[in-house]
């Protein structure tokens, strides 16, 4: 496929776009973006549904974002995903903002409508809920949850979604305490929000709260590099814990490895990538996504089982 040979397109490519076969219909904009696994998930889904198009990677720098968004709409794209660092720029660039995206404070899915308008949505929250339910067999509302890195990004989105679902209790922590205090304060007014508290990201403070936690979520990028510090105090995990690390490279992060060594159920970030993709696909096309086809695409690309 021509797009796979080119691998990554840039703003210069968009300025002098040449039709691909099948035509580019969807994409992901990021900086960087070459690592994205979304094409391996969405292209099989498009083929399975008989939709004549493909999903491509778009390396777009922050100062190029608005131009790129306009170009994609003119070129007839159905939509685009926005990843780091564009989720906040997309919030300001779309014509209409879904209320959930407004609450989450970021947009990762843009829908180009036939009438020329744009709608910004966020699949982080729905993807998080579906991941927990599918992988652990328990709804978020039944759980006592600790979120590491809740001061922004996916961790903040998970915190908002947990509060909106009315989970039994929600404990937030972040390396920068001022950020997480601000997030916690913003959750107080959400309908259905239960008990929300913060804790210092320090070994003894975490060791004290973990006995009262069911689900531990890592919303940071820590664990991607071998030299990253441990997220939790050694020996603090128990077999009853559910552990969800949003990092998926490596497939078994240090946190996932530690959880499994303690006898706990643990997953990496690939299930959430899947369910985010499923949600985006359903928003773009108004139809049920071929989940198992998308899952197999990710499995073949990564060895995930």
CA distance 15 to 17: 6
Catalytic positions, please? 87
- Comparing 173 with 194, the larger pLDDT belongs to 173
Question: What are the tokens at 106?
Answer: 């970021």
Is residue 43 scored above 60 in pLDDT? yes
Longest dimension (CA), the chain: 59
**For the chain, which residues make up each domain, given as ranges?**
2-122+273-302, 125-268
pLDDT of residue 253: 96
pLDDT tier, 7 (very low <50, low <70, confident <90, very high otherwise): confident
**Are 132 and 138 spatial neighbours (Cβ–Cβ below 8 Å)?**
yes
pLDDT tier, 104 (very low <50, low <70, confident <90, very high otherwise): confident
Question: Can 2-122+273-302 and 125-268 be said to share one CATH topology?
Answer: yes
- Comparing 6 with 153, the larger pLDDT belongs to 153
Is residue 23 scored above 70 in pLDDT? yes
CATH number of 2-122+273-302: 3.40.50.10860
Is residue 34 scored above 70 in pLDDT? yes
Across the range 127-155, mean pLDDT stands at: 94
Across the range 59-78, mean pLDDT stands at: 98
**Are 285 and 262 spatial neighbours (Cβ–Cβ below 8 Å)?**
no
**Are 92 and 41 spatial neighbours (Cβ–Cβ below 8 Å)?**
no
What topology is assigned to 125-268 in CATH? Rossmann fold (3.40.50)
**Are 143 and 226 spatial neighbours (Cβ–Cβ below 8 Å)?**
no
CA distance 257 to 261: 6
């Amino acid at each position: 496929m021509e797009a796979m040979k080119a691998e990554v397109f840039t703003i210069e490519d968009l300025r002098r776009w040449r039709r691909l076969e099948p035509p580019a219909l969807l994409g992901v904009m990021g900086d960087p973006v070459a690592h994205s696994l979304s094409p391996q998930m969405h292209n099989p889904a498009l083929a399975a549904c008989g939709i004549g198009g493909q999903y491509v990677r778009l390396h777009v720098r922050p100062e190029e974002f608005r131009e790129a968004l306009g170009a994609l709409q003119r070129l007839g794209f159905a939509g685009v995903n926005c990843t780091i660092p564009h989720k906040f720029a997309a919030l300001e660039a779309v014509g209409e903002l879904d209320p959930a995206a407004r609450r989450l404070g970021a947009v990762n899915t843009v829908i180009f409508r036939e009438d020329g308008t744009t709608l910004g949505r966020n699949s982080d929250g729905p993807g998080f809920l579906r991941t927990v339910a599918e992988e652990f067999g328990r709804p978020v509302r039944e759980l006592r949850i600790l979120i590491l890195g809740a001061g922004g990004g996916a961790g903040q989105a998970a915190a908002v979604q947990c509060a909106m679902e009315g989970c039994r209790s929600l404990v937030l922590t972040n390396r920068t305490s001022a950020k997480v205090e601000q997030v916690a304060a913003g959750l107080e007014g959400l309908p259905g929000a239960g008990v929300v508290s913060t804790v210092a990201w320090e070994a003894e403070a975490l060791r004290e709260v973990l006995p009262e936690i069911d689900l531990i979520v890592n919303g940071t990028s820590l664990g991607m590099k071998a030299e990253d510090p441990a997220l939790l105090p050694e020996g603090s995990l128990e077999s009853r814990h559910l552990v969800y690390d949003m990092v998926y490279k490596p497939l078994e992060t240090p946190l996932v490895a530690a959880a499994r060594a303690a006898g706990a159920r643990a997953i990496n970030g690939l299930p959430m990538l899947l369910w985010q993709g499923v949600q985006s696909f359903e928003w773009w096309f108004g139809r049920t996504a071929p989940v198992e086809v998308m899952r197999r695409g990710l499995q073949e690309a990564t060895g995930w089982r």
